[in-house]
Amino acid sequence: QRIWKSAHVLPIAQQLTVGLAGASVVCDFGSLEMRLADRLGTSPVQRVRAFLCHSDQVPFLLGIEDLLTDASLVCDHAARVAHLDFP
C-alpha cells in the first residue's frame, strides 16, 4: 500500500479477491499514471489499470495490456535479456 497510497487513483472496483501463484490477495482496481524506472532510465508517463493490493508484500499488479499499448516487449531468452522499448 505504501507504494501507491499517495497516488491519484481513479477507482473502478473495490475489495476484490485476486488469485496469484496459488494464493489470494485483496485488492482495489483502478486507473493511475505511473513511470517505470531502473538504473538506465525512466519511461514516459503511462496510464495503466492496476490491482492495488492491500498488502505491502504484493503492493500492486499491473495490467499488461495497458502497459504494452505504447511499449514493445523485447525478449531474448537465450541471452536472458528482456526489456520494454518506449517510443
Q: How far apart are CA 46 and CA 50, in angstroms?
A: 12
pLDDT at position 72, please? 86
Strand partners, 73: 84
State how far the alpha carbon of 68 is from the alpha carbons of 55, 65, 72, 85, in Å.
25, 5, 6, 9
Which pLDDT does position 38 carry in this prediction? 86
pLDDT tens-place values along the chain, 87 residues long: 567 777 888 999 999 888 777 888 888 999 988 888 888 888 888 888 888 888 777 776 776 678 778 788 899 999 999 988 887
Nearest to 33, CA basis, from 7, 59, 72: 7
Q: Is 56 left (phi over 0), alpha (psi -120 to 50) or beta?
A: alpha
> Given this model, what pLDDT does residue 51 score?
86
* Amino acid 75: pLDDT: 93
16/27 Cα distance (integer angstroms): 5
